[in-house]
Structure formats: structure tokens, C-alpha cells
Amino acid sequence: MATPPYASVAVGRPVRGEFTYAIPDALRGQLLPGQRVLVPFGRGKALGFYLGETDVLPEGAGGRLKAVDRILDVVPALPADLVQLLRFAARHYRYPLGEAIRAALPPGLSGQDDAKEAAAKVTWFAAALPGASPEALKRAPAQAAALSYLLAVGGRAPVDEVAHAIPGARETLKKLREKRLVQLESVAQVATVREGLHQGRHRELTPGQVRAVQALREALDAGGFSPFLLHGVTGSGKTEVYLQAAEHALSRGKGVLILVPEIALTPQLVGRFRSRFGDAVAVLHSALKDRERLRAWQRLRSGELRLAVGVRSALFAPLQGLGLLVVDEEHDPSFKQEEKLRYQARDLAVVRGSQAGATVVLGSATPSLETLENTRRGRYRKLVLDARVDDRPMPEVALVDLRAARPRVPGAAEEAPVLSPPLLQAMGETLARGQQVILFLNRRGHSTFVVCAVCGHSLRCRACDVCLTHHLSSGRVQCHYCGDAHGLPAACPECNGQLLLLGVGTERVEAEVAERFPTARVARLDRDAASSAEKLTELLAAFARRETDILVGTQMVAKGHDFPGVTLVCVVMADSSLSLPDFRSAERTFHLLTQVAGRAGRGRDPGRVLVQTYNPDSEAVSRVLHHDYDGFSAQELQWREGFLYPPYARMVAIRVEGEHPEQTAAVARALGQKMARALPRAAVGVRLLGPAPAPIARIRGKTRWQLLLKAPTHAAMAGPLDAAEALLPELPSAVKVVIDVDPGAML
């Protein structure tokens, strides 16, 4: 019979709750919270995470418990503060705790293997020793050549470089080492960024930057939880404020964590931090090799590194003594995880800062309405940067009304040209001055739908309820939800009629630009062109070095980049996201337009922005004309309050997905009935909407239904959500139910 205390363990399986195990005598006194352990589970063994001791036996155990099998870590994989954070996240986002912990760990620590120290990647260098001369090697010409090369490049070079220049040099250098003419040394390397994206310190801080830096320094000196909104117009130098705050935090022995929304931003920001702090920066994102991610994690866990820059998942970096946590571009939807543990990294960053007693900075030129409302309620302190560095003016914005400006070509197999005459004229003038242009369109591919001119049939995905996108470069049509692709038919498969290529994608814009400006150097930046982190960095670096004249891209071009040569930004179609069935569509449109407009005029020359639109009177478009964030947010908040949408309500989406339409609909209705019976009768403002088919009713061959729960607080939704969770084990295995707390998108 097991004797107390017992071990409370979260099992790395999709099961909810904590499990109680006996502690064998051999392991007593060795268990530490956050350690990975191997435990019996079901008919086999499972990865578990030790959470601490408990004296309480589960009901029905009768004192007979399975025992912890063995410990996989000497040093806990997770420090105590991250265990606390993940416990909160699993509870708040209704996700199994063990799976949440497992998802937070890097490769090498998320399995059942014993912990191993990740070997650092090394580069071997050859260095000529003092007094070494090729003159003494007349009878060994290969050795003389290798030594001469070293002396010609300053006496030291990577072995790979020497071997590339002189065949067989690896063995030759070893012989030179034996003659005490050359020294070979290994240097541990960390993931770095390519040349062309590094930038230095601003010459002089603006008054707004001075005030912001001073406020953050005072908060860091005082200690304790201090949340800030840094609201700075594009080009106002928010990054320099982060750098100086980080410098101050590090000088006080505190850890610093900088979060960016996407890998697209990481190279440039890492370049800024590396130029200030050298290689003492851990880089964390999914494009790194497993070994690099594990190595960075371990160096942070040990305290060897105290500064980390990364994307959403870097929120769980094991920094010691966290003092400063920055969320750059906090409004960006990429901070919402859309699978497994569906956390909002911005909100969870505030929780982590609160638990750690750290200073938290949420930075943006277009703050999310949730963050703005928290500032208005006094929860966050607002710091304002209302001017660009070096007194550069904000770019001039003009609208091009496509209802009048876009030409028509009746009877053509494709739509009329995408680029209007005013836009073409502005591009020509900009290129003539030797300046750069960005064209923004948030749609990949060549034509976003293909339709028959005779019967009206559109080519749709066989597994999803969406139109297929035509990609000219591959000659194929592809679904951007499931990835299914096949060749473009020669004629309509229904009636053999002519197919029209309609809708606009970045590939088509690129082709039209190349035709209109044949001597210009054109590049495209989207997920098709930038298929890897290396390719992405190369594209951005080439544009930064002004080796590209025109950059055509999706929202990846709007992600905080600083290109001084860009004086013209053109929004090809401002309306693409306005009509989506999502209450955030206007906010997302305004954010995107403002952010991409901010890429213009960041150098010596003033910037200009042209926005092509069919809806020039919409709030999200017209407010961009005068960079009127305050006016847009006031109008949007008034609308949200009237309809009880966030930030004036909390929301949970319950998504039901299954292979069989009737079975899926029945499960959705059963969930709706169960949740409706559990609605709190006395609570005001608690509403259950649905069940109803999702806006995209089928993806990857599976039928989709949705329920929405709205309430003034999360606590008011506990009853219906508990009822839904209680029903999950009884549901058929062919139907998947996901509970998405604080959903980012409604599609």
C-alpha cells in the first residue's frame, strides 16, 4: 500500500486532470516540480510531468497506486514559474495540462528519452602563429599555399573557407599544425542573421522616446508588475525603446524576453539586438533546427543567456529572473495559437509578467481594441510616440476609387489590369528617382477563383467549401486550406465552356508589374516565394540592400520592416478582408493598411501611399487617409459595445468537425442543448449562439458546425463550458470538438 506523500503528475496525453502516483522509496527526496518522469499509464508507459506532492488520494484508489517509474531529468525541464504559467493556461484555455506542458518544451525534451545536453554547433578556424612564413615551405607547395592564404586574409579564417579556396586544405592545415605554424580552434556558433538587415542605434532619441525609456527604467528599478502600452506611430522608434529598456534590465541582472508575431520579423529584430548585445541573444522560432532550439533552451535555463527573441512559442522560454517582457506588434493575429493549446500569447504574456513581477510592454502603431480598452480602464499605463525619428513626416495617403479608375476589358478571359493609371504613374515617377516601391495585396496566387463564362460553374476544392486559387508559375489550381492541387483544366468540366481567371493574387500583380516595368527588378514576398526562413531572409536582405526595386507581397511586407529606400507603398486591393464574416474584419483591415502604409518614407525622402479600393467611404479605409487611429477605434468600440463583442464581452467558440454531416450536426445540437441547460439563469449578458454551420462549412472533407458563447466575464461561462467538457468522452470518435477560448477568427 502506498504511503503519503504522493506525487501529482500531469501526463503528456490528451487526458484532462492531474494523476496521483506513489513515490517509490528509491525516488523519495529526488523529485522536483517541473521534472519529466516516466509513469505507467493504461497498458504502457507515458511521459509525465511532476507537479508536486499531495496527501490526497483519488476516489476509489483504496491506497493502491501505481508508482512513478523513473526520473528523466536531473535538473527540472521546466522551472517552477513556467509550471505555474502552464497550469493557468491549461485551466483558462480548457486544454489538458500534460499536453500543454509537452507543447511548451523544445525537441529533445518533449519525449520519453533521458535529458541530454545539446552539443553546440562549432566552426573550426585556422590561425597562423606568430612568425609563420611560407618561405620555409618551398618543398611543400600545398602547405605554403594554405599558409599564404591565411596570411592574405589577416591570419585567420574558417577551415571551410580555406578548403573551398585550396583543394585538400583540411589535411594540409593539420600538417601545418604539427609543424607549429598554424593553430586550429573551434568556436561555438549560435543561429545568426544574414548581412543586410543589421541596423544601429538612432543618433538621438526623440522627446517621446526619452519619456518612454525613462518610464520603463523607473518601473524596472521599482520592481513589481508594471504593464505598459507603447503606442507609437510607424517609424517612431519603438525598437530603440525596447533596446534601451533591455539594456537597463540586463544591467540589473534581470532576464529579457522579446516576442514578435512572425518569423518574418525575427531576422531584422534579431539583427538590431545582436548589433547591441553581440551573441548573447537566444533566438527561438520553429524554423530553427531541433538541436539549435534545444541548445538555446538549455542556455537560457542555466542562466548562461538572459535575453531571448522569438515568436509566439518563445513565451515559454525558461528565462531566469524575468524582468522585462516585450510584445512587439501586439495587435497581430499571429499571436493567437490556432491548434492544440489555443492560447493568445499577448494575453498570456501579461499573465506571465504578473506572476513574475516583471515590466510588460505591449507595443504597436495600431493597438488591438482589447489592449486599448485595458489602457482606458487604467489596467495598463500608456506611453505615446507621436512623431517619427529625425522629425520625418508621416507618409501622405491618397485613395484611388476603383469604381471609376479601373479600366474594363469586355469579353477577356481575364479581368482588366489590376494596377490603375494613378498607381502606374506614381510607380514610374518613384522608379525614375531611383527609389523603391512596395505593392501590398493579401492574396496569394495568380487568380483567386476560376469560373466558367457559359454556365457559371466555379472550380472548387473537392474536400473544402472554398474556391481553388490559380497559380500561374505551376500551371495548377490549389486549395489554400487543405493544400490539394491539380492542373488547370482546358475547359469547364461541367459544360466544356471557356474558363475565366478572376480575382487577384500576388503572382498576377508580379506578372503585371514585370510587363509594365520591364527594366525594374521585381521580387515577390509571400508564403509561396518565401518557402523557408533562409529564402525569406534572402528576399528581405536583398530588398534592404536595394538590389530589388519593387517588392510585391502579402501581409509579410507589413510586419514592421524598416527599408529607408521605400518612398511609395501601393495597396492593390484594400477590400479583400472587409467582407469576411468576422466581427474583427474592419479592425484587421485598418491595422493592415496602417502598418503597410508605415513602410513608406522611413529614410531621408518623404513617403507616399496609394490605396486602391471599391469602398472609399468605409471607416476602415477612409480613416487611414489621415492616420486616424483614435477616430477609427472610437467608432469601432462604440459598435462593439452595442453588439456586446470583445472587449465588452468574453467569447468562446465551440467547433464541431466530423466526416459524416448528419452525425456532426447531431453532436452540435446535443452540445447546444447540454450547454443551454447549464446557462446561469441569474447572470446578465450570457448568451449561447447556435449551433449553426461554420462560415466555411467544409474543410478537408469534414463538415463543420459552430457554437458561440458570450458573457461579461470568463467566470460566467464556467457552467456551460463544464457541461460541454463533461459530454466530450461520450461523443463518437469520428467527431472532433474543439473549445477555443478568446477565439481570434470566426471562420
pLDDT tens-digit profile of 271-310? 788 778 877 888 887 767 788 888 888 889 989 999 999 8
Domains in the chain, CATH or no CATH each: 6-91 (3.40.1440.60), 121-189 (no CATH), 207-391 (3.40.50.300), 396-448+503-640 (3.40.50.300), 650-741 (3.30.70.600)
- Asked if pLDDT for residue 108 goes beyond 90, the answer is no
In angstroms, the CA 311 to CA 49 distance is 25
Percent of the chain with pLDDT over 70: 89
The full DSSP string for 588-642 is HHHHHHHHHHTTSS-SSS--EEEEEES-TTSHHHHGGGGT-HHHHHHHHHHHHHH
Residue 193 pLDDT: 35
Name the nearest CA neighbour of 51 among 39, 66, 60: 39
Least confident stretch, 261-265, 658-662, 727-731:
261-265
For 229, list phi and psi in degrees, rounded to 5: -105, 120
Please state, as a whole number, how many other Cβ atoms lie within 10 Å of the Cβ of residue 436: 25
Residue 87: in which H helix or E strand, if any? helix 80-92
Q: How confident is the model at residue 412 (pLDDT cuts 50, 70, 90)?
A: very low
What is the rounded average pLDDT of the residues 625-632? 91
Q: Is 362 strand, coil or helix?
A: strand
Beta-carbon contacts of residue 629 (< 8 Å; ≥ 6 apart): 365, 366, 367, 590, 594, 623
Note the pLDDT tens digit of each residue in 19-70. Answer: 999 999 889 889 999 999 999 998 899 999 999 998 888 776 666 789 999 9
pLDDT of 194 reads 37
Range with lowest mean pLDDT among 1-10, 95-104, 458-467, 549-558: 458-467
SS3 call for 286: coil
Whole-structure pTM value: 0.82
* 419 Cβ neighbours under 8 A, 6+ residues apart: 427, 509, 512, 513, 516, 570, 572
Quick one: 730 exposed, middle or buried, by C-beta within 10 A (0-12, 13-18, 19+)? exposed
Contacts of 16 (CB under 8 A, 6+ apart): 96, 97, 725
Q: Tell me: the pLDDT tens digits for 264-278?
A: 556 667 778 877 887
Dihedral of CA atoms 422, 428, 433, 439 in degrees, nearest 10, equals 80
CA distance 171 to 2: 63
pLDDT digit string (tens) for 446-476?
Answer: 656 677 767 777 788 777 677 777 777 677 8
Residue 417 pLDDT more than 90? Answer: no
pLDDT confidence of 259, banded at 50, 70, 90?
very high
How high is the pLDDT of residue 115?
63
Helices then strands, each counted (H, E), the chain: 20, 30
With cell 593553430, the residue in question is 183
Lay out the sheet containing 476-478: strands in order across: 469-471, 476-478, 485-487
Yes or no: say if 648 and 692 are a contact pair by the CB < 8 Å rule. Answer: no
> For residues 404 and 346, which has the higher predicted lDDT (pLDDT)?
346
Grid coordinates of 373: 480598452
The number of residues making up the chain comes to: 747
What's the mean per-residue pLDDT of the chain? 85
Torsion sign over Cα 172, 178, 179, 183: positive
**Highest averaged pLDDT of the listed ranges 71-85, 370-384, 501-515, 577-591:** 370-384
Express each pLDDT in 635-652 by its tens digit: 999 999 988 899 999 999
d(CA 609, CA 383): 27
Q: What is the pLDDT of residue 94?
A: 94
**Paired residues of 736 in beta bridges:** 657
Map residue 252 onto helix, strand or coil.
coil
pLDDT at position 355, please? 97
Per-residue confidence band for 718, with pLDDT thresholds at 50, 70 and 90: very high
Is the pLDDT assigned to residue 201 strictly greater than 60? no
The number of C-alpha atoms within 13 Å of 190 and in the hemisphere containing its C-beta is 19
Instruction: Please indicate whether residue 273 or residue 370 has the higher confidence score (pLDDT).
Output: 370
For 529-557, letters b (16+ CB in 10 Å) and e give bbeebeebbbbbbbbbebebbbbbbbbbb
Task: Yes or no: say if 592 and 462 are a contact pair by the CB < 8 Å rule.
Answer: no
Portion of the chain with pLDDT greater than 90, in percent = 44
Calpha distance 512→409 (Å, rounded): 15
527-545 mean pLDDT: 71
Question: Cα(214)–Cα(381) distance, rounded to whole angstroms?
Answer: 13
Q: Residue 275 contacts by C-beta under 8 Å, 6 or more apart in sequence?
A: 198, 199, 200
CA atoms of 553 and 485, how far apart (whole Å): 22
Q: What's residue 96's pLDDT? A: 94
C-alpha separations of 227 from 215, 230, 374 in Å:
11, 10, 10
